[in-house]
Amino acid sequence: MGSEEQHPMIPVLDFSMEDSKPGSDSWLERCRSVRQALEEHGCFVAVYDKACEELENGVFCSMKELFDLSHETKQRNTYEGSPLKGYVGQLPQIPLHQSMGIDEGTTLEGIQSFAHKMWPKGNHQFWYTPI
C-alpha cells in the first residue's frame, strides 16, 4: 500500500470579525498570522464579509483587465529598489506565474500613478469604484 501525498493547505484568515485597533493584542496576533502564512505558503485566503459585492466585482474586473494587458505594457511597471516589486512574469521556471507590485499601492496617488503607467490615455475605473 502506498502512502498518499500530503498537500499543504492554503491558510484561510477570517477578517470578518476583526474589530481590533492597530497595536492591540488581537491586531498583533493577526499580523503574526499574516506573516506566518506569507512566509510558509506565499499566500493566504482572506475572508471578509463586510465588503459589498459591487466593490468585490470591481476589484476582480480591474485585476483581469490589468493582467490581460500585453507583456510589453506590464513591463512598464518597474521598481528601482527591487526587481520583484514591479512586474514579474513569463519566467521559464514558473511560466504561469505573474505578479504586479505597485509602489505606494496603499495611497490614492500611488494607484493613480500606476494606472497612468499602464493606461497612459487613462483608465478611471481602475482606481475608482464608487460604493
pLDDT tens across 44-61, in order?
898 888 878 888 888 888
34 in the same domain as 58: no
94 in the same domain as 66: yes
DSSP symbol at 6? P
Q: What is the mean pLDDT of residues 112-122?
A: 92
Model-level pTM? 0.63
105 in the same domain as 87: yes
CA distance 98 to 78: 14
Q: What is the pLDDT of residue 119?
A: 95
Q: What is the pLDDT of residue 68?
A: 95
Q: State phi, psi for 24 to the nearest 5 degrees.
A: -70, 165
Are 115 and 105 in contact by the 8 Å Cβ rule? The answer is no
75 in the same domain as 115: yes
Count up the domains in the chain and report the number: 2
Closest by Cα among 123, 110, 43, 42 to 79: 110
84 in the same domain as 40: no
With respect to residue 100, please indicate whether it lies within any of the assigned structural domains.
yes
118 in the same domain as 130: yes
59 in the same domain as 43: no
CA distance 86 to 131: 29
